[in-house]
Amino acid sequence: MKKYFILVLVYCLSLLTACFKDDTVVATDESMISDITITGLKDTTVTAFSTVLELEPEVVGYTEDELSYAWYVYGGELPVEGGYRTVKIADTKKLSYLVDLKQGSYTLVFEATHKENGYTMLAEMDLKVSTAFSQGFYILKETENGDCELDLYNRDNGECMSNILEATQGAALTGAPRELGVLYGKAYVDPETAEAGGANLLFVASGDNEMACFRTEDMMKVFDRSSILFGEMTADEIPYCMASIARLNLLFSNKGVRGDTPTGSSWVEGATGKLGYPKGDGASLFIQACDGSGMLYWDENAHRLRYYAGSVEEVEYFGDEINWDEVFPVATGWNHLAGVNTMWYIFEDQDGQRYLVFVDTTHAVTEVRRLDPASHIAQADVIAGNALTSYSIYVEHDNQLWIYSLEDGTEVALNPTGLPAGQITYLSDLYFSSLFDYLLIGVQNGNEYALCMYQIKGGQTLGGPEHLVEGEGKLKKVRYISQSDMYLPNYYAFTDYAVTLGMGPDFPY
Amino acid sequence: MKSINKIIFGMLFLGLSACEKDLPVYETSVCQLNFVYGTQEGLQTDEVTDDMRMLSHSFILNSGEGVMVDTVWVRVRTMGYLADQDRPFELIQLPTDGNDAVAGTHYVAFDDPDLQSFYMIPAGQAEVLAPIVVLRDPSLEESGDVTLKFTFQENDYFKLGYPEFSTYSLVISDQLTKPSMWGSCSLDYYFGTYGAVKHELMIKWMDQSWDDAYIETLFEELYAGFWLPKDEAYLSYLGDWFAEKLQEENEERLADPEIGDVWREANGEPVDFTPLSY
């Protein structure tokens, strides 16, 4: 009997096993083939239709006669149906390729194949294709004639293009420069094809009430004050600035705030990008991030801090340390040290008394600090907040730089190495995501400017300027524009992702 | 010993067999009928809204001047096997709590012999456009709108389909009526709640019909029954523009001693373009 149980048990176990054929072939020294090793390819950025990309990777393992080669490119707007081999650009080891691709991000693939055994090895590199205008530091300046011009500095190749408006539009914008802003995914209608689309735009305000928006791909003007609204912009309206925040692209003017949705965050395309009626009473140049959804701004007509995210709200303040009706704004900033968001404004009253006002992410004033009239920050002409590395504000007083601590109000001198002589007229902590974070210092000597870009560590400048840009004209403002598609700009800095994943601010206002 | 052999044999047999669920073959001969709402495919029963079951025909809005008879088309689709011969279907009116349309007065009766050739699913097809012939009776102008609610009448060929897809309510009017797209596109959230006077003013100010066809040009159906504006900023602008026009005209009307009042709807409520809040 016992043996039958054993038989049944063995049978059951046999049912649990799977049959397989061991078809392993053990390699021998004779059957093994040599590996192909490819080195020497590095990610690169090139300019569309002007760069001849020359590459020659190192290939080890076989002689050149034993191998065949191929180069492919994929990504951007290229078709994807056939995999990475869809677009072949060369079949030689050495690549010499005039980059005739549209602006975008691509991948370059180099393939080496043994002619006899078919063994193939490939290597990839990222290829970012930009246009001459699609990415870089735009420098807003006043020409010797008092008009508005732009220079563009490319930190990848260290080149600076001067007087872009004259080169692309035929002339500088009339009147002195007032403001420079960046819009990501702004809806517009192409003036040449009448097709609706979306693009990154540069906003420039000049003269008494002029404005223009340029598509950074080619500097085509897509909006001005005659075309930005569905209706007519009245003669007394002064467009101050435009900015992107999360799902909004906003226009601030002395009439109020208007907004529309970036093309990337809408399910339906086809918007014209034109704007409707203004909300609120008025606005000003002093705008700031606040909660990742909307923006803070100073309403110069109502003399109140406001918040806009589709509708206008007043920033709550129940104290009496400051009389809003008697102050005007001097500066504003956004500090994001260690993932904590602090927005601040500096106001000055008619007696010259300055106040530092803190606003939290619930659009409420949390502190009003009376600034000591003897302090440098209370007398400074140029003010810019540190954003990411220090809880402080940079100020210029009597052509000397100081760092004001937001924590305790102390001030320490800042003496950047290698700063050219001249009058300091511009300060900005300019960053773009995790790509870079520079303290920008503009020094003016007559009609010549020097723009120094310093690395920052703990709020202090680190070494000499990493980039030094020199040009003609009076420097007014610098903003960086990326050719990337920005999804929900400056939104994640206000979420838990800021601390857990380091998704901080994307760019300052 | 014998029983042990049987057990082993049984287990061997069991080991050789494979489990398989015997799925039933679709062989029902019952065919059913549904209406097709909207323009996109794939609408699920739980996605159907009352707005989708609403149609409107305003002789003022949708027909030319002097046109006394007009046609509204509805899509009818079958469920089940196709047939190699034409199959007739029937429609019947359902009562509502409101002002019901009267056959022969407000619409051509569904059993009218002239319509029978249209109420037919052609051989080899599963869908047809069925006409609802509406009549411009003077009572529409005098007494207001009527509603024609209808469904399918089961016959030898077809049973009723899904209840959610089985009725339509057609508002027949010789005045301005709320376009069905007004609800589908949630225009209340751009222009405030619908009103006939508001509608008339919108048409007058823009010189656009503001009927279903025009409203549809401003929106895109993202998926079945879910419409999104092509340019939300434009709709917001229109809402503000209408409000501004209304304010201008109201000021003129108030200043005119012969009028002395603002624009009002038939129920006495002032016309108001304030959008509903989400």
pTM of the model: 0.75
pLDDT of residue A83: 86
Buried/exposed code over A283-298 (b: 16+ C-beta within 10 A; e: otherwise): bbbbbbbbbbbbbbbb
Residues sharing a CB contact under 8 Å with residue B16, sequence separation 6 or more, in sequence order:
none
* Interface residues of chain A, partner chain B, Cβ below 8 Å: 4, 7-8, 11-12, 15, 187, 230-231, 259-261, 266-277
Chain A: residue whose CA lies nearest to B10: A8
Q: Please give the Cα distance from A317 to A304 (Å, whole number).
A: 10
CA angle in degrees (0–180, nearest 5) for A176-A179-A185: 135
Say which amino acid occupies A455: Q
Beta pairing, strands B31-36 & B158-160: parallel
ipTM for the assembly: 0.72
Q: Please give the Cα distance from A492 to A504 (Å, whole number).
A: 6
Q: Please give the Cα distance from A342 to B15 (Å, whole number).
A: 71
B232 neighbourhood in chain A, CB within 8 Å: 260-261, 266, 271
A260 neighbourhood in chain B, CB within 8 Å: 232-233
Q: Please give the Cα distance from B79 to B32 (Å, whole number).
A: 5
Q: Please give the Cα distance from A134 to A483 (Å, whole number).
A: 5
Residues sharing a CB contact under 8 Å with residue A408, sequence separation 6 or more, in sequence order:
none
> Following DSSP, what letter does each residue of A54-82 receive, concatenated?
EE--EEESS-GGGEEEEEEEEETTS--TT
B278 neighbourhood in chain A, CB within 8 Å: none
Q: Tell me which residues of chain B have a pLDDT lower than 50.
A: none
Say which amino acid occupies B92: I
Question: Which residue's entry shows tokens 């002093």?
Answer: A286
Q: Are B182 and B227 a contacting pair, CB within 8 Å?
A: no
B231 neighbourhood in chain A, CB within 8 Å: 187, 270-272, 274
Across the interface, do A274 and B11 touch by the CB < 8 Å criterion?
Answer: no
Beta pairing, strands A177-189 & A196-206: antiparallel
Separation in Å, CA of B237 to nearest CA in chain A: 4
Separation in Å, CA of B234 to nearest CA in chain A: 7
Across the interface, do A15 and B241 touch by the CB < 8 Å criterion?
Answer: no
Distances in Å between the Cα of B228 and the Cα atoms of A199, B190, B224, B225, B254 are 21, 12, 11, 10, 38
Taking alpha carbons only, the member of A62, A66, A60, A57 closest to residue A90 is: A57
Residues sharing a CB contact under 8 Å with residue A349, sequence separation 6 or more, in sequence order:
A323, A326, A327, A355
Q: How many inter-chain contacts (A to B, CB under 8 Å) are there?
A: 63
Q: Please give the Cα distance from B229 to A271 (Å, whole number).
A: 9
Domain ends where: B156, B173, B190?
A: B173
Q: Please give the Cα distance from A253 to A239 (Å, whole number).
A: 4
SS (H, E, C) B38-77: CCCCCCCHHHCCHHHHEEEEEHHHHCCCCCCEEEEEEEEE
- Helix B232-255 to helix B196-206 angle (10° resolution) is 100
Q: Which residues pair with A45 in a beta bridge?
A: A128
Across the interface, do B220 and A11 touch by the CB < 8 Å criterion?
Answer: no
Q: Which residues pair with A68 in a beta bridge?
A: A113
Beta pairing, strands B168-173 & B54-58: parallel
Interface check for B252 against chain A (CB to CB < 8 A): the answer is no
Backbone angles phi, psi at B249, to 5 degrees: -70, -35
Question: Which residue's entry shows tokens 């027949």?
Answer: B172
Same domain as B184, residue B165: no
Chain A: residue whose CA lies nearest to B243: A277
Same domain as B194, residue B168: no
Across the interface, do B233 and A274 touch by the CB < 8 Å criterion?
Answer: yes
Across the interface, do B222 and A267 touch by the CB < 8 Å criterion?
Answer: yes
Same domain as B217, residue B118: no
Across the interface, do B11 and A260 touch by the CB < 8 Å criterion?
Answer: no
Buried/exposed code over A69-89 (b: 16+ C-beta within 10 A; e: otherwise): bbbbbbbbeeeeeeebeebeb
Separation in Å, CA of B277 to nearest CA in chain A: 11
Per-residue pLDDT reduced to its tens digit, A113-142: 999 889 999 999 999 888 889 999 999 999
Taking alpha carbons only, the member of A145, A140, A148, A180 closest to residue A166 is: A148
Same domain as B11, residue B70: no
B242 neighbourhood in chain A, CB within 8 Å: none
CATH number at residue B47: 2.60.40.2030
Taking alpha carbons only, the member of A241, A246, A262 closest to residue A197 is: A262
**Burial group, residue A111, by CB count within 10 angstroms (0-12, 13-18, 19+):** buried
A277 neighbourhood in chain B, CB within 8 Å: 236-237, 240-241, 244
In the three-class reduction of DSSP (H, G, I as helix; E, B as strand; rest coil), residue A104 is classed as strand
Domain ends where: B142, B173, B204?
A: B173
Q: Are A244 and A289 a contacting pair, CB within 8 Å?
A: no
pLDDT of residue A1: 55
Taking alpha carbons only, the member of A471, A428, A419 closest to residue A149 is: A471
Q: Please give the Cα distance from A43 to A40 (Å, whole number).
A: 10
pLDDT of residue B189: 96
Interface check for B8 against chain A (CB to CB < 8 A): the answer is yes
Separation in Å, CA of A414 to nearest CA in chain B: 47
Tokens encoding A64: 């050149």
Across the interface, do B4 and A4 touch by the CB < 8 Å criterion?
Answer: yes
Chain B: residue whose CA lies nearest to A4: B4
Same domain as B205, residue B139: no
Chain A: residue whose CA lies nearest to B241: A277
Domain span at residue B231 reads: 1-24+179-278
Separation in Å, CA of B11 to nearest CA in chain A: 9
Across the interface, do A272 and B240 touch by the CB < 8 Å criterion?
Answer: no
Of A11, A271, A277, the CB nearest to B231: A271
Sheet containing strand A120-130, edge to edge, reads A44-47, A120-130, A104-114, A67-75, A88-90
Separation in Å, CA of B231 to nearest CA in chain A: 4
Same domain as B262, residue B155: no
Interface check for B18 against chain A (CB to CB < 8 A): the answer is no
Same domain as B36, residue B169: yes
Q: Please give the Cα distance from A263 to A248 (Å, whole number).
A: 10
Tokens encoding A56: 């020659």
Across the interface, do B237 and A4 touch by the CB < 8 Å criterion?
Answer: no
Across the interface, do A276 and B233 touch by the CB < 8 Å criterion?
Answer: yes
Sheet containing strand B127-135, edge to edge, reads B127-135, B69-79, B31-36, B158-160
Q: What is the DSSP letter of A232?
A: P
Q: Which residues pair with A355 in a beta bridge?
A: A347, A370
**What is the fold of A37-130?**
Immunoglobulin-like (2.60.40)
Q: Which residues pair with A308 in a beta bridge?
A: A295, A312
pLDDT of residue A4: 64
Per-residue pLDDT reduced to its tens digit, A316-351: 898 999 999 999 999 999 999 989 999 999 999 999
Interface check for B248 against chain A (CB to CB < 8 A): the answer is no
pLDDT of residue A87: 92
- Is the C-alpha dihedral spanning B107, B112, B118, B124 positive or negative? positive
SS (H, E, C) A427-472: EEEEEECCCEEEEEEEEEECCEEEEEEEEEECCEEEEEEEEEEEEE
Of B4, B230, B241, the CB nearest to A271: B230
Q: What is the DSSP letter of A473?
A: S
Question: Which residue's entry shows tokens 């303040």?
Answer: A317
Q: What is the DSSP letter of A482?
A: -
Same domain as B163, residue B49: yes
Across the interface, do A11 and B11 touch by the CB < 8 Å criterion?
Answer: yes
Question: Which residue's entry shows tokens 């025909």?
Answer: B57
Separation in Å, CA of A301 to nearest CA in chain B: 21
Q: Are A186 and A200 a contacting pair, CB within 8 Å?
A: yes
Domain ends where: B147, B173, B199?
A: B173
pLDDT of residue B225: 77
Work out how many domains chain B is built from and give that number: 2
- Is the C-alpha dihedral spanning B245, B248, B254, B255 positive or negative? negative
Q: Tell me which residues of chain A have a pLDDT lower than 70.
A: 1-32, 265-267
Q: Please give the Cα distance from B185 to B176 (Å, whole number).
A: 18
pLDDT of residue B11: 61
Question: Which residue's entry shows tokens 């192909």?
Answer: A36
Q: What is the DSSP letter of B138?
A: H
Same domain as B224, residue B91: no
Across the interface, do B232 and A275 touch by the CB < 8 Å criterion?
Answer: no
Q: What is the DSSP letter of B275?
A: P
Q: Please give the Cα distance from A429 to A437 (Å, whole number).
A: 7
Across the interface, do A272 and B15 touch by the CB < 8 Å criterion?
Answer: no
Q: Please give the Cα distance from A325 to A327 (Å, whole number).
A: 6
Same domain as B134, residue B103: yes
Q: Hey, of A5, A229, A260, A312, which one would you mutate to test binding to chain B, going by the most B CBs within 10 A of its CB?
A: A260
Across the interface, do A260 and B233 touch by the CB < 8 Å criterion?
Answer: yes
Say which amino acid occupies A132: A
In which region does residue A239 sit, left (phi positive, over 0), alpha (psi from -120 to 50) or beta (all else)?
beta
Chain A: residue whose CA lies nearest to B219: A268
